[in-house]
């Protein structure tokens, strides 16, 4: 198995459904009180691309993509139409997300996206950024593209010069989700000459 750095057809993914999933164990005690345990540190996203298939051409595109990925075997990129930007828009800024604090030595920082307020925020690792979209700032001053590099297969940003002690390192970016098909069989129905219906095309995020 391997990762294919190719994105699922965007026009189809925009009509899909899905979102984050978590795994929580809940035990109800004799008193009626509950004990809850979260088994996963990070959420895992699931999608159903079947809702985005509107025509026979869409289905042909999905079929070709599915066969090239060998069903569940190879993972690939998915664009979540609701959540693909560091600030929720198509125009990220270098101040969107805090990714670390300088110590005068460290030059590598992992891209993350923060969800929630200060009470108990969730920091999501971003492992598949769109490299050309990444912007970085140190202590509020934007860096030139030549002053840092981005690993599009891990989400690690490497600066040419280590930020000074206490300097805030921030970033803005667009990103995709690494996923795989969660089926090895496509069940297609041709409803008319130019229409096809696929009841379900489940996709699941691949943790890295």
Distance CA 68, CA 91 (A): 32
Q: Which helix (H) or strand (E) holds 119?
A: none
CB 149 within 8 A of CB 156: no
Backbone angles phi, psi at 107, to 5 degrees: -120, -15
pLDDT truncated to tens, each residue of the chain (208 aa)? 899 999 999 999 988 999 999 999 999 999 999 999 999 999 999 999 988 888 888 888 999 999 999 999 999 999 999 999 999 999 999 999 999 999 999 999 999 999 998 899 999 999 999 999 999 999 999 999 999 999 999 999 999 999 999 999 999 999 999 999 999 998 877 766 666 667 789 999 998 7
The predicted model scores a pTM of 0.90
């Amino acid at each position: 198995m391997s990762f294919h750095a190719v994105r699922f057809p965007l026009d189809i993914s925009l009509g899909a459904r899905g979102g984050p999933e978590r795994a929580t164990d809940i035990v109800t005690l004799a008193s009626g009180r509950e004990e809850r345990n979260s088994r996963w540190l990070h959420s895992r996203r699931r999608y159903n691309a079947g809702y985005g298939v509107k025509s026979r051409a869409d289905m042909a595109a999905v079929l070709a993509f599915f066969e090239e990925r060998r069903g569940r075997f190879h993972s690939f990129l998915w664009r979540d139409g609701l959540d693909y930007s560091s600030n929720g828009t198509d125009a990220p800024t270098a101040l969107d997300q805090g990714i670390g604090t300088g110590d005068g030595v460290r030059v590598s920082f992992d891209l993350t996206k923060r969800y929630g307020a200060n009470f108990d925020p969730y920091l999501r690792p971003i492992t598949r950024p769109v490299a050309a979209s990444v912007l970085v700032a140190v202590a509020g001053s934007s860096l030139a593209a030549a002053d840092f590099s981005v690993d599009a297969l891990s989400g690690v940003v490497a600066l040419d010069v280590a930020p000074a002690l206490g300097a805030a390192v921030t970033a803005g970016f667009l990103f995709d989700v690494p996923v795989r098909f969660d089926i090895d069989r496509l069940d297609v129905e041709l409803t008319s000459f130019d229409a096809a219906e696929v009841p379900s095309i489940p996709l699941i995020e691949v943790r890295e």
